Each structure stands twice: as C-alpha cells, then as structure tokens.
C-alpha cells in the first residue's frame, strides 16, 4: 500500500523557499500536519532565518507566528527554570546536566529553533538520587503521582523518578539517573555520559551531553522506547544535530566509538536509516557501513522490512492526511515493541494488564 506523501512538510522544513508556491489547500494540510507534529514553530523560524518570511501569505503566517510566540515563551521560561534548578542543586555541589530539548535550547543549538520545551529533563548519578530529590523538594518540587504502584514502578525499575512539579510555577521536572530503564535489554553506562558532559560557557553549573552522546540519547529515546507520538519531531532533532555536529570530521569516528561503548549501535543504526530516508540527512557512507558490520546491528532482511513498514508509518504526523489504514496498527505494535525492549516478559504482561484495568480511570500521571 502506498503511503500518503508528506513532501510538502519535509520541504517546508528543509527548503522554505518552496512555501511560496503553496496554494490555500496545501497550506491547510501543511499547517494541520505541522501542528500535530509540533513543528509549526520550526517551519516559521526556518522561513525567517532564510529570508522567506515576508513572502508568506498573511493567514498562514498568523498560525506560524502564534506557534513561534509560544515556543519563544517556553524557551524564556526554560532559562529561568534551569537557573532555579541549578540553585537548588548547589548545596550538594551537583551540576545540572540537561537532556533533550532543554539541552538544545540552553546550548543554543540549531535543533532549538522553534523547539517546544514543555518540561525539563536532567541526568544525575544514581547513587545521589536521594540527595537530589531531597534538595529539589526543599526547592518546591513535589511528585505528581501518589499511586503506590506507579511510585514503586518508577523507583524500582525505571530510569527516572516520578515526574516532579513545582508547587508555585507549575513547571515539570524529570530527574533521570539513566537514559534507559534498569530492566531494558540495552544498558548504557550513565557514568560515561556524565563524565563526558560539558559545561555551558554562560553558566558552569549547567552542563549538556557531549555531541556524540546527544545524538545517541536522541536515537535511543526514539528507536528503543517506542514513544513515537512526536516521532517526526524527534527525527528533525536528530537531523539538526547531525548536520551541526557532522561538519566536524572528528565527530563521526567519535560517534561510532561512543555507540559501541554505550551499547547503542542498534538505535543509532535505525536512527541514521530513517533520518536519511525521510529527511535526506547527510550521513557518510563509511559510517553506515561500519554500523551495519557491527555485531549489535545484525538483522535479517525480512525483519528490517517489517520494521520499515512500521516506522515509516509511525514516524509521521499523527494526522489523517499522513496516515493509511495500517498506521494505527503500526503505532500500536511499536508501542508494544518499546515495552518489550525495556521489560522482561512476566513483568511486561503484569504491567500491561494493570494499565488495561486502570484505563477506565483517569490519573494525573500514569507509569509509562
């Protein structure tokens, strides 16, 4: 079955000059898809940066400007929140190691252009988790989830504390001690990530992962966890990181070495495959060849074709215009796959049965 094309959306992200040729119908579909993918603000920022903003029709420009305003406000609030987190951790002399969107924004990377950042993710040493939670509670952050099972689930098996929410500002903070659950098949060493983290010039209390680790974390989050609701945005993040970091020839050998050291060859292989297929990212052939030859990436052709059929549907905006009859099934199967990769079978069965029972009841935050 032929999948609906998303060429207009991809072109808007990569060649904003193409926006000038769009008619009202194409604009309508583009805005709906981009809003669903959380990419509307990025399209506007890219169009502005490359000098095409003034040539856009007024009505679509209003939608883009509204999204850009929201993204800008979130990033402004993020800067304030990171300072407050750094201040809270000062008594225990720990830096704030930012992950994902917060890291891209605070480091001023291209991936932050128009990037929404609704919460903050940080990485801390597991052995100091109790200290971190204590000082954050003193600073006004409290757990959002009071369910006993969910608390045990997060604290015993997951790679993070239950989400914390600030009592006054309402901001959400995710405190990670690893980038994958403790029960996952892949077990990247968090100490390697923390050891290579780099401080920001503007504030040495705040750090971000090194370039290779940023890419690997993004790849692992997208292709191991199975959370593909904003899968295309995740690919756009990866594309931006690869283009920015890849201009340094030393980046690619380091990426391969780090992938091996962190046991993330497989997620990286999948990330490079789909970011190339959907966004035409410039990945050197020797990198893909080296990954394909890695023992951790060995895969039967039929299995790769199956994954292609699933991911090429799920890595699209969750909108009817970008979906076919098989898309809901693809998303569901990848959701199950994500759980399978991070839990033993018995635990997975019990967890999914419990989620099924709880699905008739609403909860502020439910275990993933």
Name the packing angle between helices 58-89 and 129-138 (round to 10°): 110
Residue 325 has pLDDT above 50, yes or no: yes
Q: How far is CA 348 from CA 186, 358, 368, in A?
A: 16, 15, 11
Give the CA dihedral 102, 334, 332, 279, nearest 10 degrees.
60
Residue 367 lies in a domain: no
| Phi, psi for residue 194 in degrees, rounded to 5 | -65, -40
Q: How far is CA 247 from CA 126, 252, 283, 292, in A?
A: 34, 9, 11, 22
Residue 1 lies in a domain: no
The total number of structural domains in the chain stands at 1
What are 74-124's pLDDT values in tens digits? 999 999 999 999 999 999 999 999 999 999 999 999 999 999 998 999 999
**Nearest residue to 330 (alpha-carbon basis) of 350, 347, 309, 351:** 309
Residue 330 lies in a domain: yes
Q: How, if at all, do strands 141-143 and 164-166 pair?
A: antiparallel
Task: Write the DSSP string, 186-243.
Answer: ----HHHHHHH-EE-SS-TTEEE--HHHHHHHHHHHHHTS---TTHHHHHHHHHHHHH
Q: Region 145-159: what's the mean pLDDT?
A: 76
3-class SS at 185? coil
Q: Region 36-43: what's the mean pLDDT?
A: 96
Q: Region 331-340: what's the mean pLDDT?
A: 86
Please tell me the predicted confidence (pLDDT) of residue 351.
65
**Nearest residue to 166 (alpha-carbon basis) of 148, 142, 147, 182:** 142
What are 237-269's pLDDT values in tens digits? 999 999 999 999 899 999 999 999 999 999 999
pLDDT interval class at 73 (50, 70, 90): very high
What are 8-32's pLDDT values in tens digits? 999 999 999 999 999 999 999 999 9
Residue 114 lies in a domain: yes
End-to-end CA distance of the chain: 32
Q: How, if at all, do strands 164-166 and 206-208 pair?
A: unpaired
User: What does the alpha-carbon distance between residue 6 and residue 11 come to, in Å, rounded to a whole number?
Assistant: 9
Residue 368 lies in a domain: no
pLDDT interval class at 358 (50, 70, 90): low
- Sequence-distant (≥ 6) Cβ neighbours of residue 324 within 8 angstroms: 1, 2, 3, 4, 313
| Phi, psi for residue 20 in degrees, rounded to 5 | -65, -25
Please tell me the predicted confidence (pLDDT) of residue 339.
76
pLDDT interval class at 359 (50, 70, 90): low
Please tell me the predicted confidence (pLDDT) of residue 368.
52
Residue 185 lies in a domain: yes
Please tell me the predicted confidence (pLDDT) of residue 186.
86
Q: What is the CA radius of gyration of the chain?
A: 21
Residue 365 lies in a domain: no
- Helix extents (H) in 18-118: 24-36, 40-49, 58-89, 100-106
Residue 366 lies in a domain: no
How is the beta sheet containing 198-199 ordered, strand by strand? 141-143, 164-166, 172-176, 119-123, 96-99, 206-208, 198-199
pLDDT interval class at 356 (50, 70, 90): low
Please tell me the predicted confidence (pLDDT) of residue 366.
47
**Other beta carbons less than 10 A from residue 344's beta carbon:** 11
Residue 360 has pLDDT above 70, yes or no: no
Best mean pLDDT range from 44-48, 182-186, 227-231: 44-48
Please tell me the predicted confidence (pLDDT) of residue 5.
84
- Structural domain boundaries, residue 230: 7-358
Mean predicted lDDT score pLDDT of the chain = 90
């Amino acid at each position: 079955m032929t999948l609906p094309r998303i060429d207009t959306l991809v072109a808007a992200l990569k060649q904003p000059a193409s926006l000038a040729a769009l008619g009202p119908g194409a604009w309508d579909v583009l805005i709906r898809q981009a809003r669903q993918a959380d990419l509307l603000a990025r399209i506007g920022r890219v169009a502005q940066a490359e000098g095409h903003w003034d040539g856009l029709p007024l009505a679509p420009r209003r939608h883009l400007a509204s999204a850009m305003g929201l993204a800008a406000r979130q990033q402004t609030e993020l800067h304030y929140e990171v300072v407050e987190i750094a201040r809270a951790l000062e008594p225990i002399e720990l830096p704030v190691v930012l992950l994902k969107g917060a890291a891209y924004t605070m480091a001023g990377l291209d991936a932050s252009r128009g990037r929404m950042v609704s919460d903050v993710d940080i990485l801390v040493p597991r052995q100091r988790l109790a200290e971190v939670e204590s000082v954050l509670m003193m600073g006004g952050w409290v757990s959002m989830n009071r369910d006993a099972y969910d608390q045990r689930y997060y604290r015993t098996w997951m790679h993070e504390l239950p989400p914390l929410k600030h009592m006054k500002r309402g901001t959400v903070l995710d405190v990670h001690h690893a980038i994958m659950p403790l029960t996952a098949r892949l077990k990247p060493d968090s100490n390697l990530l923390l050891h290579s983290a780099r401080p920001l010039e503007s504030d040495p209390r705040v750090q971000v992962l090194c370039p290779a680790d940023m890419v690997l974390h993004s790849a692992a989050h997208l292709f191991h966890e199975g959370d593909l609701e904003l899968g295309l945005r995740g690919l756009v993040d990866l594309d931006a990181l690869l283009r920015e970091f890849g201009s340094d020839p030393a980046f690619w050998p380091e990426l391969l070495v780090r992938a091996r050291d962190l046991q993330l060859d497989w997620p990286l292989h999948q990330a490079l495959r789909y970011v190339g297929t959907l966004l035409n990212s410039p990945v050197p052939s020797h990198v893909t060849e080296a990954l394909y030859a890695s023992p951790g990436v060995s895969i039967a052709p039929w299995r790769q074709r199956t994954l292609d059929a699933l991911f090429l549907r799920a890595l699209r905006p969750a909108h009817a215009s970008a979906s076919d009859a098989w898309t809901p099934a693809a998303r569901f199967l990848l959701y199950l796959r994500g759980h399978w990769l991070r839990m033993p079978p018995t635990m997975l069965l019990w967890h999914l049965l419990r989620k099924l029972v709880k699905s008739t009841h609403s909860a502020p935050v439910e275990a993933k």
